[in-house]
Amino acid sequence: MIIKIPDFTISPRIDQVGVEERASRFTKRSLKNETKINGLKLALNMIDLTTLEGKDTEGKVKQLCYKAMHLHDFYSGLPTVAAVCVYPSMVSVAKKALGDSGIKVASVATAFPSGQSARDVKLRDTKFAISQGADEIDMVISRGKFHQGEYNFVFDEIAAIKEACGDARLKVILETGELGSYDKVRKASDIAMYAGADFIKTSTGKISPAATMPVTLVMLEAIRDFYYKTGKKIAMKPAGGISKAKLALHYLVMLNEVLGEDWMNNEWFRFGASSLANDILMQLMKQRTGVYQSADYFSLD
Amino acid sequence: MATKNRIEVLKTYKIYIGGQFPRTESGRTYIATNAKGEMIANVCLSSRKDFRDAVGSARGAFGGWSGRSAFNRGQILYRIAEMLEGRKAQFIEELMKQGSSKGNAEAEVNLSIDRLIYYSGWCDKYQQIFSAVNPVASSHFNFSVLEPMGVVAAIAPQGTSLIGLVSIMTPIIAGGNTCVMLASESKPLCAVTFAEVLNSSDLPGGVVNILTGKVSELLPFFADHMDVNATCYCENDAASVKIIKEKAALNVKRVIYYENKKWNTKETQSPYFINDFQEVKTTWHPIENIGGGKAGY
């Protein structure tokens, strides 16, 4: 199928007030117990458990992988997380630790988090991660070039990385906190999707603000419009700043009401987070035992 | 000035969580009455979710508060006393509204101020009194020091409006703990006004959180919240004590139970009240025998 590339300089403009109001309305839904528990388990299953620190060691990554497979063994019947997200140098460690658990290994690449490097370096970074066994690649766009209006450069770069990914799914991080306006978020989303992204992702988690509900809404709407135009589904990953179970449920409500049930699984939606898992586990344990929980009784990740 | 026609501005009695004065999330209130049964104020009827939020604030404040120097905690307690002194008249008026005579009200406020000063002085001294170097038979330097328990959930003595609350709260925070206090159900006014004193006295938000509401409703949560390290109760009610002890066992909470204490006397202030909310940590530190000497401690 041939997809016609639109003129990105005329991406739809975003009504800031409207988007923010609509996003805040998703937080007002009342979820009753059974729905809440199912929602929490679904959210757990959508997490990309992440560690992206300069100080990451093999031990830390192995520990994170153990956590990914054994979220809280006291609670039987829990799902695992969707993936573990690490730096390229830790991919082989994670791959080995996760074994045949079915949990994917995602690797950031392309001079994460700034993306300020030569294309050749970015491609090699990507290929290295793939060769180590990464199932998914999280790339960053060149925000500097984007702000300079060099959309073709950004487009070509994403397309080149996508080619280097082969079968691995590509997540394109827009780093919305550096884009400055919803209009630009929409434009960057369009560029990424037309260039071949499998996922669009809000943030690296390295700068604030990271994911917010309005920004995610803008991106979900871009995905919806892209789907109507091309028939191709794109997945979404808000990342950074989502650490509370309640907020995760708000995101799921938004996902369901914007893109519908087809997107309500971890193939089409992920949370990039690390502390979210424990908060969800605490809520699930609260529902099961009736007693407010303490972080002291949950494993660190 | 038409003061005769002026409508008095009545105070909204709200709760105190994390250095803020929210209303209860439940939106519920109850009516506080005086001895004659006349209404004196609408007061928040706090819910378990308010308690949960308060515990969250107390947990968040614990690291900073327990990490402060003991001397600085003493300074802050002294500051609370200063602020209370400055608002004495308001407390006396509120106590009288709730049924005290003028003389008793004055005495209660004065004693509350003095008690804050008393514990302010103890902040950097109880550690020396209760810590110890222990004699052991091996080559070890063995010592025991006190550490705060963590988050304490305390149900203030129900018979008094101010002195009971102050007598329980002060030793808890003097020792580096943070706390959630449930005010006297029948005499809640001074607790809320005292929260305003706390809020204007350099005490970091979250160190003390004060709720108003029904003891019977909130008591189970004070005892079974997994993130609470100790629960304090002061009434002679066997059934409630039983509930607390049973539920506290869930995470081996320490239960501090004060039976038949008269909070408006000098007998109910001593460094032992600080000690009640402390854990003892004992350390075995290997030492070398020098010059053929035996272990000296």
Over residues A77-117, the pLDDT tens digits come to: 999 999 999 999 999 999 999 999 999 999 999 999 999 99
Three-state SS annotation for chain A = CCCCCCCHHHCCCCCHHHHHHHHHHHHHCCCCHHHHHHHHHHHHHCEEEECCCCCCCHHHHHHHHHHHHCCCCCCCCCCCCCEEEECHHHHHHHHHHHCCCCCEEEEECCCCCCCCCCHHHHHHHHHHHHHHCCCEEEEECCHHHHHCCCHHHHHHHHHHHHHHHCCCEEEEECCHHHCCCHHHHHHHHHHHHHHCCCEEECCCCCCCCCCCHHHHHHHHHHHHHHHHHHCCCCEEECECCCCCHHHHHHHHHHHHHHCCHHHCCCCCECEEECCHHHHHHHHHHHHHHCCCCCHHHCCCC
pLDDT tens-digit map of A116-146:
999 999 999 999 999 999 999 999 999 999 9
Indicate the pLDDT class of residue B288, thresholds 50, 70 and 90.
confident
Residue B231 clears pLDDT 80, i.e. is over it: yes
* Chain A CB contacts of B221 below 8 Å: 292
Average pLDDT over residues A255-270: 97
Whether B251 contacts chain A with CB within 8 A:
yes
Q: Is-contact A251 A23, C-beta < 8 A? A: no
Q: Give the pLDDT of residue A101.
A: 94
Confidence band of A254 (pLDDT split at 50, 70, 90): very high
- The distance of Cα A92 from the centroid of its chain, to the nearest Å, equals 21
Domain containing residue A152: CATH number: 3.20.20.70
| A297: contact with B, CB 8 A cutoff | yes
Handedness of CA B146, B147, B153, B158 (dihedral sign): positive
Model confidence at B140: pLDDT above 90: no
pTM of the model: 0.89
Residues of A in contact with B226 (CB under 8 A): 291-294, 296-297
Q: If you measure CA to CA, which chain A residue comes closest to B56? A: A294
Establish if A1 touches chain B: CB-CB under 8 angstroms: no
State mean pLDDT over A283-299. 94
Q: Chain A: nearest CA to B202, how far in angstroms?
A: 28
- Look at residue B290 in the predicted model and tell me its pLDDT: 60
Q: At residue B155, does pLDDT exceed 60?
A: yes
Point out which residues pair with B17 in neighbouring strands: B20
Residue A301 clears pLDDT 80, i.e. is over it: no
**Is A1 part of any domain?**
no
- Under 8 Å CB-to-CB from B3, ≥6 apart: which residues? none
Residue of B227, B243, B250 for testing the chain A interface, max A β-carbons within 10 Å: B227
Q: Are strands B29-33 and A271-273 parallel, antiparallel or unpaired?
A: unpaired
> Looking at residue B16, what DSSP letter applies?
B
Query: For residue B229, what pLDDT is reported?
Result: 97
CATH of domain B11-286: 3.40.605.10
Segment A1-60, tens digit of pLDDT: 677 888 888 889 999 999 999 999 999 999 999 999 999 999 999 999 999 999 999 999
Single out the catalytic residue among A138, A190, A198, A279. Answer: A138
**B15: how many CB neighbours lie within 10 A of its CB?**
27
pLDDT confidence of residue B5: 87
Q: Of A181-190, A211-220, A292-301, where does mean pLDDT reach its minimum? A: A292-301
More confident residue, B297 or B165: B165
pLDDT at B296: 54
Confidence band, pLDDT 50/70/90 cuts, at residue B287: confident
Nearest residue in chain A measured CA to CA from B53 = A292
Tell me whether A295 touches chain B (CB under 8 Å).
Answer: yes
Give pLDDT, residue A53: 94
CB-based contact A292 B250, cutoff 8 Å: no
User: Of chain B residues 39-98, which have a CB less than 8 A from chain A?
Assistant: 52, 55
Q: What is the mean pLDDT of residues A238-266?
A: 96
Cβ of A291 within 8 Å of Cβ of B55? The answer is no
Q: Which of A214-218, B50-54, B137-141, B292-296 has the lowest mean pLDDT?
A: B292-296
The pLDDT of residue B2 is: 57
Average pLDDT, chain B: 94
Q: Which residues contact B96 (CB under 8 A, 6 or more apart)?
A: B102, B105
Marked catalytic residue, from A67, A104, A187, A201: A201
Residues 19-38 of chain A whose Cβ lies under 8 A from any Cβ of chain B: none
Long-range contacts of the stretch A15-23 (C-beta < 8 A, 24+): A16/A181, A16/A182, A19/A182, A19/A214, A19/A217, A19/A218, A20/A214, A22/A217, A23/A212, A23/A213, A23/A214, A23/A216, A23/A217, A23/A254
**CB atoms A293 and B227 under 8 Å:** yes
* The pLDDT value given to residue B33: 92
b (16+ CB within 10 A) / e for A285-294: beeeeebbbb
**A296/B226 CB distance under 8 A:** yes
Nearest CA in chain B to A296: B227
Give residue-wise pLDDT tens across range A141-192: 999 999 999 999 999 999 999 999 999 999 999 999 999 999 999 999 999 9
Put simply, whether B221 touches A (Cβ < 8 Å) is yes
A246 is catalytic: no
Domain total in chain A: 1
pLDDT digits (tens, 9 = 90+) for B75-111: 999 999 999 999 999 999 999 999 999 999 999 999 9
Is there a catalytic annotation at residue A206? Answer: no
Residue type, A271: F
- For B21-47, what is each residue's pLDDT tens digit? 999 999 999 999 988 888 999 999 999
3-state helix, strand, coil in chain B (%, to 5): 45, 20, 35
Q: Which two tokens stand for residue B146?
A: 């006190």
- Between strands B140-148 and B39-44, the pairing is unpaired
Structural domain includes residue A294: no
pLDDT of residue A66: 95
For this structure, is A122 an active site residue?
Answer: no
Measured between beta carbons, the chain B residues lying within 8 angstroms of A297 are: 226, 251
Nearest CA to CA, how far is B147 from chain A (Å)? Answer: 17
Domain extents in chain B: 11-286
Q: Between chains, do A296 and B52 touch, taking CB under 8 Å as contact? A: no
Q: Is residue A173 one of the residues assigned to a domain?
A: yes
Range of the domain at A51: 14-288
Question: Closest approach of chain B CAs to the CA of A296, in angstroms?
Answer: 8
Whether ipTM tops 0.95, in short, is no
Sign, Cα dihedral of A124, A129, A133, A139: negative
